[in-house]
Structure 1
Amino acid sequence: MIPVRGYRGRRVAVLGLGRSGLASARALRAGGAEPVCWDDNPATRAEAEAEGYACSDLTRHGALEDVAALIVSPGIPHLYPAPNPVVAAALEAGVPLDNDIGLFFRSFAAPGWDELDVVPRVVAVTGSNGKSTTAALIHHILTEAGRPAQLAGNIGRGVLDISPGGEGSVVVLELSSYQTELARALTPDVAVFTNLSPDHLDRHGGMGGYFAAKRRLFTEGGPDRAVIGVDESEGAFLANQLAEGAADDRVLRVSVTRKLTGPGWQVYARKGFLSEVRKGRQAAAIDLRAIKGLPGVHNHQNACAAYAACRTLGLAPRVIEAALASYPGLPHRSQIVAEAGGVTYVNDSKATNVDSAAKALRAFGSIRWICGGLEKEGGLAGLRGATEAVAKAYVIGREAAGFALQLDVEAEICTTMAQAVARAMAEAQPGDTVLLAPAAASFDQYDNFERRGEDFVAEVQRRLAG
């Protein structure tokens, strides 16, 4: 646990008692603060009370008097589409807002660090797509290289649940826009921006607000090194703002759409080969094509970003290459779950938006595509041009018929996962890939994308076994 610093003897309100909220309460108490907790869910409040935390209705008038700060869980809106009533009361009363990420960055550095030969470092990864894989890949590379590392944030453990930093250790954080937009402290040593595509636009008041939330990771505290995907205009703009000039190697540019040139520090992938170029000279090259855990151009982008981040931490190219080869992949992200009769079954349930689904569709040939769910803002127009390899789509979800009408490929309305898997398996031919890449949220039929992916895997395994 990371005890929270700066609030000893003071009351701090915690709104939302899910994983991050309860961890915040524990870390605040460990640092000597007095947490005052609230959640609309009585069962969640009971869990907090069982641990000895006082729960007080923060919606009542005067509940925030003598409160030093309000710690807000990521899912609770504080600006768009409208502030939560407790947040609105805090804004009116002048009570500072923060979240567990802000508490972590203000508290992670500990007394005694000046006695260490190599102080702990923090690598933070954000972006629209690929941030989970990139963060997990950095952690995998560090672990394989023998560096003590912890994975936390939006993946792995909560940031305040991890162990204090030790000699030469690295904390790798995956951070969503919900987390970066509110944190009052954002001071990673290395910050990574994978890419940007429309997502969570209602929460951020549009694309500009969404980019601004991501951008805060790079501008609030200023990382020592920044790894920036420059294949979208926002990434190119961010890299330009951070660099003092073309030769500034504090900014590492990453691309999978073109060869990067110039006097700076670049990592790019073309036709499955990763290249590192520094000061105009090639420093390393890696063949990514045979790595099963990293299929497709989108995963090559993740590999480039992870490679670049690990190079800033002093790892040698050959060490990173060996670790990339052993990377098993993450569940629900281009995860190969079975191979039988010449057919490959891939679970990419995390492809919850159009852009991530399009990238998955470009990673495989001859696809039997399982898609559908709760459609996100903007529709499915972004999938056009990405479906050349799709032999047929099998559409799930409560609005499967409407979803299918927007597709530019032959589509069968299946509604349920069981029916979609059965039909795709029945029609699949040797060389085909049965791919779950929904291009939609899961909440019309599942609690989360993990449950949707698990259902797909279970159906595949059941039918292969029977």
Structure 2
Amino acid sequence: MIPVQGYAGRKVAVLGLGRSGLATARALKAGGAEPLLWDDSPEARAKAEAEGFACTDLMKQGAFDGVACLITSPGIPHLYPQPNKVIARALDLGVPVDNDIGLFFQSLGAADWAKFDTAPRVICVTGSNGKSTTTALIHHILQVAGRPTQMAGNIGRGVLDIDPPQDGEVIVLELSSYQTDLARALTPDVAVFTNLSPDHLDRHNGMGGYFAAKRRLFAEGGPDRCIVGVDETEGRFLANQMAQGPEDDRVIRVSSGTKLEGFGWSVFARKGFLAEWRRGKQMASIDLREISGLPGAHNHQNACAAYAACRALGLAPKLIEQALQSFGGLPHRSQLVGERNGVRFVNDSKATNVDSAAKALQAFPKIRWIAGGMGKDGGITALEPFLGSVVKAYLIGHSARDFALQIGSTPHEICETMARAVARAAEEAEPGDVVLLAPAAASFDQYPNFEKRGEDFTAQVQALLS
């Protein structure tokens, strides 16, 4: 783990005892702090107490006496739609509020780094869609290249749970807007912004607040190199703010679909080919079309961002290309889970919003589309331009009937459950079709999270194919 620095002998309150909360408590203890833990769940408190931690109701009178800082888990609102009552109490008392990301950056450097030939580096990836795949892809490329690397944050392990980095190691972190919004310290060496589309708007009081949370990683983090997706206005604005001019190669602009030649450094994908341009010259080209782990234009954008991050570390294009070829993809993100009689079954359960579902619908020519769940504000009417590839929709969950009214003349069937949707889609599919789970909705009506929804789809497909 990374022992937390700066709080030895002091009390630090920890709110929320999930994966990141318990990892934070252990790292605080390792750094000599006295963690005071709280979670509304008796089960979570019992688990913490079984590890020897003290649980203290932080709303009790005097609970914050002598407390140096409150560390909160990312899922707990700290500002909008309104602060959690414990956080509100800390704000009233002037107790600093931070999260594990802030503690990580505050505590990462160690005295033994002076002995290293190459100091460890941190790559942080944020954005609305594709950040998990981009993070995992960077990590995979580094592994293939033989570079010591660890992956953590919003994917894999908690940031304070990783091992102290070795000489020349690269730590790759996926960071959500919840994490970047609150962290008091943000000092990545390389920062990646994939794209921006509406999501978590209640937590950020709208798109402006959502973008501002992502922007903090760059504007306040001061990375040595910025990789910025410029397919949306916000990305172009961010790249403009971070660069001294179009020739400034500290900013690497990334696009899926737009040729970017007039900049100091750019990486873009067009018609399935990745191209790297630097100072007016093409440096490399990679054919992405047959890479099974990266289907569709949205994954080509992820490939461009990961390629740019690894080029910023000095890796050779041919080595990166080799690693792209062996990338298997992530579960629940354009994941091929089976094939029968020319029909492929693809699990994109992570497509929980309209933008990510639109990207999934553009990745394949003939789709049997399984969609539905707990619909988000605005429904799915914005998907109408992307329904041309949908042969038929099979609608499940709470919003199935609402979705049926929002997809116009697209053939559809109300299936309610995943089991029926998979069975009906498989029964009607023809060679060349893709049975695609891309829900465009949250999972909480029928599943605890998108992973469980994807696992159910996978189980139904495997039972069908066995």
Q: Is this a same-fold pair by TM over 0.5?
A: yes
Once the two structures are TM-superposed, the CA of residue 381 in structure 1 deviates from its matched residue by: 2.1
Determine if contact 2:375/2:398 at 8 Å carries over to the other structure: no
1:442-464 CA distance string (max 9 Å, x none): 00000000000000010011011
1:250-275 CA distance string (max 9 Å, x none): 10000112100214100000000000
- In structure 2, the residue matched to 1:168 is 168
- What CA distance in whole angstroms lies between the structure 1 residues aligned with 2:176 and 2:59? 27
Correspondences of 1:368-407 after superposition (within 5 Å): 368-407=368-407
- What CA distance in whole angstroms lies between the structure 2 residues aligned with 1:263 and 1:422? 50
Partner secondary structure for residue 109 of structure 2: coil
- In structure 2, the residue matched to 1:248 is 248
1:271-301 CA distance string (max 9 Å, x none): 0000000000000000000000000000000
Partner secondary structure for residue 112 of structure 1: helix
- What CA distance in whole angstroms lies between the structure 1 residues aligned with 2:91 and 2:249? 40
Determine if contact 2:129/2:194 at 8 Å carries over to the other structure: yes
Say if 2:331 is the partner of 1:331.
Answer: yes
Say if 2:89 is the partner of 1:89.
Answer: yes
Once the two structures are TM-superposed, the CA of residue 402 in structure 1 deviates from its matched residue by: 1.6
- In structure 1, the residue matched to 2:413 is 412
- In structure 1, the residue matched to 2:277 is 277
- In structure 2, the residue matched to 1:347 is 347
- What CA distance in whole angstroms lies between the structure 1 residues aligned with 2:380 and 2:135? 28
Flag structure 2 segments of 5+ consecutive residues without an equivalent.
none
1:150-196 CA distance string (max 9 Å, x none): 01000011101100011110000000001110000010100000000
Runs of 4+, deviation exceeding 3 Å: none
Partner secondary structure for residue 146 of structure 2: coil
Once the two structures are TM-superposed, the CA of residue 28 in structure 1 deviates from its matched residue by: 0.2
Task: Point out the more displaced range, 186-195 or 394-403.
Answer: 394-403
Correspondences of 1:201-350 after superposition (within 5 Å): 201-350=201-350
1:210-268 CA distance string (max 9 Å, x none): 00010111111200000000000000000000001111111000011210021410000
- In structure 1, the residue matched to 2:128 is 128
What amino acid is aligned across from residue 328 of structure 1 in structure 2? G
Once the two structures are TM-superposed, the CA of residue 411 in structure 1 deviates from its matched residue by: 1.2
Determine if contact 2:257/2:271 at 8 Å carries over to the other structure: no
- In structure 1, the residue matched to 2:463 is 462
- In structure 2, the residue matched to 1:441 is 442
- What CA distance in whole angstroms lies between the structure 2 residues aligned with 1:348 and 1:112? 43
What amino acid is aligned across from residue 96 of structure 1 in structure 2? P
Flag structure 1 segments of 5+ consecutive residues without an equivalent.
none
1:96-155 CA distance string (max 9 Å, x none): 000001010111111121221111000000000000000000000000000011010000
Task: Point out the more displaced range, 76-85 or 396-405.
Answer: 396-405
- What CA distance in whole angstroms lies between the structure 2 residues aligned with 1:281 and 1:3? 46
Once the two structures are TM-superposed, the CA of residue 333 in structure 1 deviates from its matched residue by: 0.2
Once the two structures are TM-superposed, the CA of residue 399 in structure 1 deviates from its matched residue by: 2.9
Partner secondary structure for residue 111 of structure 2: coil
Aligned residues: 465
| Structure-1-length-normalised TM-score | 0.99
- In structure 2, the residue matched to 1:102 is 102
- What CA distance in whole angstroms lies between the structure 1 residues aligned with 2:239 and 2:399? 40
- What CA distance in whole angstroms lies between the structure 1 residues aligned with 2:405 and 2:250? 48
Task: Point out the more displaced range, 126-135 or 252-261.
Answer: 252-261
1:263–1:397 CA distance, 2 compared to 1 (3 A): closer
- What CA distance in whole angstroms lies between the structure 2 residues aligned with 1:182 and 1:263? 33
1:37-56 CA distance string (max 9 Å, x none): 00000010011111111100
Determine if contact 2:103/2:185 at 8 Å carries over to the other structure: yes
What amino acid is aligned across from residue 233 of structure 1 in structure 2? T
